[in-house]
Amino acid sequence: MVQRSTSVRLLGALLGLFLLMPVLMAPTPPSMCTPLRTLNEKLSHRRRYMKHNFPVNYTIKVHHEEVFKLSNIRKMKLQVENLEENHLQRMWFLVNHGVLKRIIRVMPERHPSRPYTSELERRLQDAEGVFVQSHPPEFFQQELPVAIQDIWDCLTEESDRVPESSWRFATPKSLLDNFCRTMHCLFSECFATTETHDQLDSSHCRKIKKNVSTANS
C-alpha cells in the first residue's frame, strides 16, 4: 500500500515535469521580438520590391534547401528525432541569409530593390545578433540532429561543388514569402496578432505545433 502511493507520487512528479518542460524550453526569447517585428514590417513591402521591380516570372537559382517552406518545417517536426524549435530557428537564419545573398547577387548595382534587400539583410543580422546573445555558447556547439546537420552542410557547401540536380528556380517574391511565413511559424510568440494575409499561415502553423506536442506527450 505504501509502495503503491509512492509510485503514484513518483508518477505524478514525472508527469508534472513533463508538463513543465515546454515552459522551461520556451523557444523564443522575448528580446527577439523587437528586431523580428521590424523585419516583419520591412517584409510587408516585399510585393513591390520583389515582384514589381523584376521582369514577369523572373526566377533565380537557389539551393533546394533554400526553398524553406512551412511544409518543410511540418515534415521535419514529424520526422526528425530530438528536434528542438531553436534548431529550426538556427536553420531559418542560415537559410534566409543565403536567400538574401542570392537575390542581391543577381541585381545590378543600381537596381531599385537593392537598398531594400540590403536593409533586410541588416535587419536579419540584428535579429540573429539577439538570438546569439540570448543563448549560451554551448548551444551553438551542441550537435544538431543528423537530418538538420545534413541540410546545414549542403547550405554551407561551396556553390561549385553543389550537384546540378540540387538547384531549384524560384521567384524572389516566393522566397521572401517563405521567409516571412516561416518566421511567423518559428517565432509565433512574437506575432500573436499578425497582419491578415499571414494570419492563415500562422494559425496553420500553431495547429501543427499542437498536434506534434500531443503526439509527443
Ligand X SMILES: *[C@@H]1O[C@H](CO)[C@@H](O)[C@H](O)[C@H]1NC(C)=O
CA-wise closest residue to 40 among 202, 203, 204, 169: 202
Q: Minimal distance in Å, beta carbon 131 to ligand X?
A: 37
- Separation between Cα atoms, residue 40 and residue 135, nearest integer Å: 22
Per rule CB under 6 A, count of chain residues that contact ligand X = 2
Specify the residue, 57 or 141, whose C-beta has the smaller distance to ligand X.
57
Specify the residue, 2 or 56, whose C-beta has the smaller distance to ligand X.
56
Using rule CB under 6 A, residue 5 touches ligand X: no
Q: Minimal distance in Å, beta carbon 168 to ligand X?
A: 15
- Separation between Cα atoms, residue 130 and residue 31, nearest integer Å: 7
> What are the grid coordinates assigned to 51, written together?
515582384
Q: Minimal distance in Å, beta carbon 174 to ligand X?
A: 12
**Cα–Cα–Cα angle for 51, 175, 196, rounded to 5 degrees:** 75
> What are the grid coordinates assigned to 30, written together?
522575448
Specify the residue, 134 or 174, whose C-beta has the smaller distance to ligand X.
174
Specify the residue, 54 or 68, whose C-beta has the smaller distance to ligand X.
54
Q: Minimal distance in Å, beta carbon 55 to ligand X?
A: 8
- Separation between Cα atoms, residue 64 and residue 154, nearest integer Å: 9
- Separation between Cα atoms, residue 73 and residue 179, nearest integer Å: 12
Taking CB atoms, the residue at the shortest distance from ligand X is 57
Q: Minimal distance in Å, beta carbon 151 to ligand X?
A: 28
How many angstroms separate the Cα of 10 from the Cα of each of 4, 18, 24, 30, 80?
10, 12, 20, 34, 30
Q: Which of residues 41-100 bind ligand X (CB under 6 A)?
A: 56-57
| Binding region for ligand X (CB under 6 A) | 56-57
